[in-house]
Structure 1
């Protein structure tokens, strides 16, 4: 069997655009008729996804797999680090949680032991696909991490992959970052860098030609292209820093439904709300402790990697009190996963699964309590609406999504299930999910991706519009989230293909 050709995308720093450019290359190779898979040996992210067989992996590699036209697999991201604090993470290996580790113990003791997991996963992809597009993490020039590296140059050496080095010119200092990165690499690794990409460029590229000439003469490495800055493509982000940009770009002209998502310090899976952002007549904003919650038409409490700590943050900042007051006045409040757990009477963590705090009162908006277990539930699901009331009532369709949680929630007499899960990981079940209050104005669920369901999303938005007195007649057709994704990948591929010397890249891969 002939092993797949490989190419690796590394960066001069974090947030240089590696993930998006990897997705673009996946789409380009897919369009050109190749069977292509993404690969990132170790990803640190709070945005994750559950595969069909119940494995958890980083959302960025899911986006890249979608761009490549293939189902996501945990082999594409064999190690996922989900931060639980400033210097600790839950380590997920081949889709299953291993344990929580602090940064020192992970890098000094565990990372090397996981190298065999990385190589086996990579080998499986190389055997099953024509091309594997590999993404690095951070910068390969972080000399303090080179000895324990399992995500940058060590992977390039293992795969025999030529490396494209990406620099973010929008931050400034891109030329120095490229030259400095190459200078700090050992000679053998430096020779692996076969191309340079300048990313997020604004302005006239013709004025940048002297800089390109300088880089090529200084480093001896060709510049493969200059990719323009863009913010108008529907490509899901994995880093929560993007929420600040979304707030900046959003505009409320007073004739839109105002949806406020609480910006938790450890927010996870914030991409759950991207489809709402795309709905006509919706103003979606993220609200932190320095922002004004005001009088939104809907409050959403998102998922969290550390639910108890984030609930404590809401209480300390006063946001918890504001949400409760709004709910008492009839403003609908929705909780997703960790946000759903916060809506109850209390949360317990007897095994200190997520936090050192063993017990905390919840917001008290739903009659239920949650206890954190040692085992994580990860599954794709299909469900129907069980709740009634103004917001869930009247929707009779089926829903799809996925669960990622360690909490087990018990409902009291004053709460009713919001949904019924009918299939879990392909198996027929009859399991209640979530909860709602008697009026139906407060409800929550463990189902991530629930707003990806186009009919359900429009159903909820239309109810909010009617309550606000906005017209729902003659509005735009329902937007297909899946079609919008695919169109975004195609536009991304077109932009990057026109910006890079793809002939050179193919030659670097010996294709």
Structure 2
């Protein structure tokens, strides 16, 4: 059976996911079979596994950092918030039920907890180390009797616990002491170390703070981790939109005329915004999330992203003045890309007769494609690979689909690709490409992580708008691998790994290697 370590935080977005990612990479580098585990995740950033299941995007990234294939047991409960205070429950990778928040907290827990225990046992029997991640804070007192993601999961796994606090947001002493104080004595006994995260400047300036915390709490400080700029690792949820990677670029003044300007419409229920991370890493490209329709005007290309509520977000576009700027962009010959829900919006109609997303039964789309999409009960979650068609003919692509709609082609439709499901042979058509090649619609999340397609797309934009050519940033797969290694190297320097291995009951000699 596995050795188990859990990372909990004093609040959301204090760096739990990134620390778990780093530890997965470090343990894998040190020769251990390691897997991530998050009992319950609430996020609209999700990923498909090779088995055709859906889990949180962060757990897929952590599995990648650990060098193992992601599976549904790494995140047995995934909550996807919807319009009207409803939540879609994904249980061990499959759509389980759509409920109100109240029903979830009061009526769903036993079945979900049994799945959590089952999934943890599955991983524990197959890996040497499980790195567990909590959710939010373990001491949200109004929710604590019902929650299953933090100390209850640590107790189930008999895991040693690390508490992470974010010093950048201020109040780090109160947040650490307050969290420990609100834990039950038996829960507090599991906390074996504290990590201070996102410290800017010389960590020696916090030496007095380390000594005070250790004396007051009686718990060792395992390290003071620095604030890491431009890490290039998938964000867990929408709070990640406030990170430097997105926030600074969104606020940047457009002074350099040679930059490719790409606008992403920031839909209210936007999902899987990590689809666009490769664009943020490209030299000579300025990407920004649009909150106002007029911000489209300055762009060379416009992206409609995925969404958890296509009907509601399409209505939002119409009611908030987005339709005319989008039509103008089309008439001006700007390249447009719709992904998943954004692709559905580009068609003639969207039908939801069973009201699975909203109370709206039918709505006209933007009319860029001759397609009709029907929202249905079955959720499609698959990895796919294939070859692009039309002006991109011959380019190989891979990605994943996560959607509940079935899109039917009209007579004027022209498919974007031929694809097949992972480990299958049968090809099918996918997506849409306008006759002039300027509007692309696809269900493929991760399409922009395909280097050759992304380079072709950016080169086309530059050529159409007479912008200077720019060398490609390179392989996204290699950039991701380098990012994991960079993260692991930084954490190794600032974290006392000897104490962490001791917490796990693993004998080490860090001077000569782990084994």
TM-score by length of 2: 0.95
Please report how far the alpha carbon of residue 394 of structure 1 lies from its aligned counterpart in structure 2 after TM superposition.
4.2
Correspondence for 2:383 = 380
Residue 507 (structure 1) aligned with residue 470 (structure 2): no
Q: Secondary structure at the match of 1:429?
A: coil
Residue 262 (structure 1) aligned with residue 265 (structure 2): yes
1:12-46 CA-partner distances (Å, limit 9, x unpaired):
01111100000001111111111100000111110
Q: 5+ unaligned residues in a row in structure 1: which ranges?
A: none
2:9 to 8, 11, 19: 11
Please report how far the alpha carbon of residue 395 of structure 1 lies from its aligned counterpart in structure 2 after TM superposition.
3.7
Please report how far the alpha carbon of residue 476 of structure 1 lies from its aligned counterpart in structure 2 after TM superposition.
2.7
Whole-angstrom distance in 2 between the partners of 1:45 and 1:223: 30
Correspondence for 1:310 = 313
Correspondence for 1:341 = 344
Correspondence for 1:494 = 489
Q: Does the 8 Å CA contact 1:78/1:94 hold for their aligned counterparts?
A: yes
Q: Secondary structure at the match of 1:506?
A: helix
Tell me: CA distance 1:264–1:458, structure 2 relative to 1, closer, same or farther (3 Å): same
Correspondence for 1:186 = 184
Residue 459 (structure 1) aligned with residue 456 (structure 2): yes
Please report how far the alpha carbon of residue 420 of structure 1 lies from its aligned counterpart in structure 2 after TM superposition.
1.6
Q: How does 1:16-165 map to 2 (within 5 A)?
A: 16-85=14-83, 87-165=85-163
Correspondence for 1:358 = 361
Whole-angstrom distance in 2 between the partners of 1:173 and 1:74: 36
Whole-angstrom distance in 2 between the partners of 1:194 and 1:291: 52
Whole-angstrom distance in 1 between the partners of 2:275 and 2:472: 21
Correspondence for 1:285 = 288
Whole-angstrom distance in 1 between the partners of 2:218 and 2:293: 48
Tell me: CA distance 1:408–1:107, structure 2 relative to 1, closer, same or farther (3 Å): same
Whole-angstrom distance in 2 between the partners of 1:67 and 1:424: 24
Q: 5+ unaligned residues in a row in structure 2: which ranges?
A: 507-515
1:52-98 CA-partner distances (Å, limit 9, x unpaired):
11011100001100111111111100111111136321100111101
Q: Does the 8 Å CA contact 2:350/2:362 hold for their aligned counterparts?
A: yes
Please report how far the alpha carbon of residue 290 of structure 1 lies from its aligned counterpart in structure 2 after TM superposition.
7.7
Whole-angstrom distance in 2 between the partners of 1:364 and 1:477: 33
Question: Greater shift after overlay, 78-87 or 176-185?
Answer: 78-87
Whole-angstrom distance in 1 between the partners of 2:362 and 2:203: 57
1:114-148 CA-partner distances (Å, limit 9, x unpaired):
11111111111111111000000011111222222
Q: Secondary structure at the match of 1:144?
A: coil
Please report how far the alpha carbon of residue 495 of structure 1 lies from its aligned counterpart in structure 2 after TM superposition.
0.7
Whole-angstrom distance in 2 between the partners of 1:259 and 1:443: 14
Whole-angstrom distance in 2 between the partners of 1:394 and 1:197: 48
Question: Between Structure 1 and Structure 2, how many residues are aligned?
Answer: 501
Please report how far the alpha carbon of residue 396 of structure 1 lies from its aligned counterpart in structure 2 after TM superposition.
1.2
Whole-angstrom distance in 2 between the partners of 1:353 and 1:419: 28
Whole-angstrom distance in 2 between the partners of 1:177 and 1:303: 35
Q: Secondary structure at the match of 2:125?
A: helix
Q: Secondary structure at the match of 2:426?
A: strand
Whole-angstrom distance in 2 between the partners of 1:178 and 1:341: 46
1:447 to 440, 444, 458: 444
Whole-angstrom distance in 2 between the partners of 1:204 and 1:30: 29
Correspondence for 1:249 = 248
Correspondence for 1:196 = 194
Please report how far the alpha carbon of residue 486 of structure 1 lies from its aligned counterpart in structure 2 after TM superposition.
0.5
Whole-angstrom distance in 1 between the partners of 2:392 and 2:352: 36
Correspondence for 1:272 = 275
1:419-477 CA-partner distances (Å, limit 9, x unpaired):
122x21322223111112221211201111111111111011111111111233xx435
2:394 to 382, 396, 402: 396
Whole-angstrom distance in 1 between the partners of 2:472 and 2:135: 40
Q: Secondary structure at the match of 1:147?
A: coil
Correspondence for 2:512 = none
